[in-house]
Amino acid sequence: MDITSINIPNGLSTPFSLIPPSSSSLFLHNMDFCKSILSPQKMLNAWGKIHIFLWSMRMIILKNHKPEPGMTPKASQQERHQIRQDEIIVAARRCFRASGFHAASMSQIALEAQLSVGQIYRYFASKDAIIEEMIRRIIDNRIAEMESNTQTEHLAQVLAWRQTLSHDDDALMLEVAAEATRNPHVAAMMAQADARMYETACAHLKKMHPHLEESRVRCCVEVMASLMEGAMFRNLTPQKCDPAQLHQLYQDIMQMLFTEK
C-alpha cells in the first residue's frame, strides 16, 4: 500500500497542505528514511498518527486565531483578501513595467507574487481584471490629489518642471495606451478612466471658477488634459528649454483659459 494515499477517519486525506512549503522537502526526505527502516505496517501506523497530529494543530491554530479588536471575523477575512489583492497588484505592476501588458503572463505575475496561478485566479478572474483594478487605483490617486489641491495656479509649475505624482504610474498608463490599440477591453477601460478624470476635473474647475460657463469649463479641461498628457510623453525625453521661461508661458495660458471674454 502506498502511504501517500492513506485515508483516516472523517475522510481526511494526506496532509501535505498542512506542511509549510519550506519544510516539505525535508519532511519527505525523512519519510523516505523511515520507510527504509520500518516495516510497512509500522510505517502506516506512524503516518496515520502524523496525519492526525498535523490536522489537530491546524484546527487549534484556526480556533485560536482572533481578529484585531473591534474587527468581526468577516471584516478580518475581507482585510486579508484586500492585503492579498494588494500584493498581487504590486507584483503585476512590476511585471507590466518589465515586460509590458501584452507579454506579461499570469504565471509571471504569480511567480513575482510568490503565489500559484490558481491562487491568483481566486482574486482576479483574468489578467484584464488585474489591469482594470490597477487603472482604477491610479485614477483614484489622481482624483484624490486633484480634489486636495483647491487652486489651479500650480498647474503652470507642474507643466513647466514636468512634475508628476508618480513616474511609475505614468509609465504604466503609457503601457495602457499601447495595449488599448490592440485590446478592445483595455481600450474600454481607458475610456472609462478618462471619463472619470474628465468629469471630476470639470466639477473641480467649476467650483474654483464659478464665473465660467459650462461649455467653457469643458473646453478648459480638454486643453489642460492635452497639456498634462503631452507633458507625460515629453517626460520620456530630456528637457530642452528653460523651465522658468516655460512657467511664465504656461501661466499666461492658464490666465487666458480662466478669463471669460
Q: Residue 253: its pLDDT value, please?
A: 95
What is the rounded radius of gyration, in angstroms, for the C-alpha atoms of the chain?
A: 28
Reading the block at residue 129, the C-alpha cell is: 481584471
pLDDT digits (tens, 9 = 90+) for 22-65: 444 444 444 454 555 555 555 555 555 565 565 566 555 555 55
CA distance 125 to 132: 11
In whole angstroms, what is the distance from residue 201 CA to residue 38 CA?
Answer: 75
Contacts of 32-35 with C-beta under 8 Å, sequence gap 24+, read 35/3
Which residue numbers in the chain have pLDDT < 50? 1-31, 33
* pLDDT for residue 76: 81
3-state secondary structure of 149: coil
According to the model, what pLDDT value does residue 17 have? Answer: 40
The pLDDT score that the predictor gives to residue 234 is: 94
pLDDT attached to residue 64: 58
Q: b/e map of 56-92 (b: 16 or more CB within 10 Å)?
A: eeeeeeeeeeeeeeeeeeeeeeeeeeeebeeebbebb
Give this prediction's pTM.
0.71
